Amino acid sequence: MTPLLEARDVVKRYGDVQALSGVTMALRGGEFVSIIGPNGAGKTTLVNVLTGLLRPTSGRVVFKGRDVAGVGPVRLAALGMARSFQLVNVFPALTVAETLAVPALARLGRGARPFASLARDAEVADSVAEVAELFGLAEKLPRLARTLPQGDKKLLDVASAFALRPEVILMDEPTSGVSTRDKTAIMETLVQAARRIGVKGIIQVEHDMDIVFAYSDRIVALHQGRVLADATPDAIRADDEVVATVLGRPR
């Protein structure tokens, strides 16, 4: 099967520091792929390269057969790729409805329209209502986003990306800072929402190994900017080098 998204021998340098060293990985249709690794392994840099925020020093990023290295998240969103925005932090004065309207307006080509027009825009309102319902936020649409509990803030961050109706979604630490119970609830909600909206593939960066092993079809383990392993959860568990180097457990 032709991959939806690929990194091909990606190198990223910051001056003398090499954050990524020949990283190759792929996301195929129907896959949920987790990227793991210790701090400084290059996880967030890789996601930033995959989502067009950073241009690789060398190598290619291919999305649906097109080289998209460095094109930027706005262009990638139009092509069908999105990442969670953390808009709650970016726009703390917005309500939940307004936060979900930002990507809806962008998807519909109405990014310049003021929020005052939202009540009169049935298409945007319907999009906001649908995504809010999928993520259990329908009763909280009038609330200021910054006043939500942390678990709901995480859901809202992910829901904002889903509002773009992407084929591929990338998430950086979607469950960080919430309780174990809330982590599972968040993951169940986003997986169900992905199925209902028609998302074809998901990549996440995640530190919680219980979440990683429970939801991943494949796991890419990074260490010092290189791919240490790219395998199924069972194969990762059985790999002594990965267990010792990435998971920090004795061989």
Three-class secondary structure assignment of the chain? CCCCEEEEEEEEEECCEEEEEEEEEEECCCCEEEEECCCCCCHHHHHHHHCCCCCCCEEEEEECCEECCCCCHHHHHHHCEEECCCHHHHCCCCEHHHHHHHHHHHHCCCCCCCHHHHHHCHHHHHHHHHHHHHCCCHHHCCCEHHHCCHHHHHHHHHHHHHCCCCCEEEEECCCCCCCHHHHHHHHHHHHHHHHHHCCCEEEEECCCHHHHHHHCCEEEEEECCEEEEEECHHHHHCCHHHHHHCCCCCC
Sequence spans of domains, the chain: 1-71+201-251
Q: Which of 93, 92, 103 is nearest to 135 (CA)?
A: 103
Burial letters 97-121, b for 16+ CB under 10 A, else e:
bbbbbbbbbbbeeeeeeeeeebeeb
Q: What is the structure's pLDDT at 242?
A: 85
Is pLDDT of 11 > 70?
Answer: yes
CATH superfamily of 1-71+201-251: P-loop containing nucleotide triphosphate hydrolases (3.40.50.300)
User: Between 246 and 158, whose confidence is greater?
Assistant: 158
Whole-structure pTM value: 0.89
How far apart (Å, rounded) are the C-alpha atoms in residues 203 and 226?
Answer: 17
Q: What is the pLDDT of residues 22-60, one digit of tens each?
A: 999 999 999 999 999 998 899 999 999 999 999 999 999
**Are 106 and 164 a contacting pair, CB within 8 Å?**
yes
User: How many angstroms separate the Cα of 165 from the Cα of each of 57, 154, 157?
Assistant: 30, 18, 14
pLDDT band of 176, cuts 50, 70, 90:
confident
Q: What is the pLDDT of residues 222-239, one digit of tens each?
A: 999 999 999 999 999 998
Sign of the alpha-carbon torsion through 136, 140, 141, 144: negative
Is pLDDT of 117 > 80?
Answer: no
Q: Which of 53, 50, 58, 51 is nearest to 18 (CA)?
A: 58
β-pair type (218-223, 226-231): antiparallel
Angle among Cα 121, 125, 129 to the nearest 5 degrees reads 175
Give 200's contacts (C-beta < 8 A, 6+ positions apart): 4, 29, 30, 167, 168
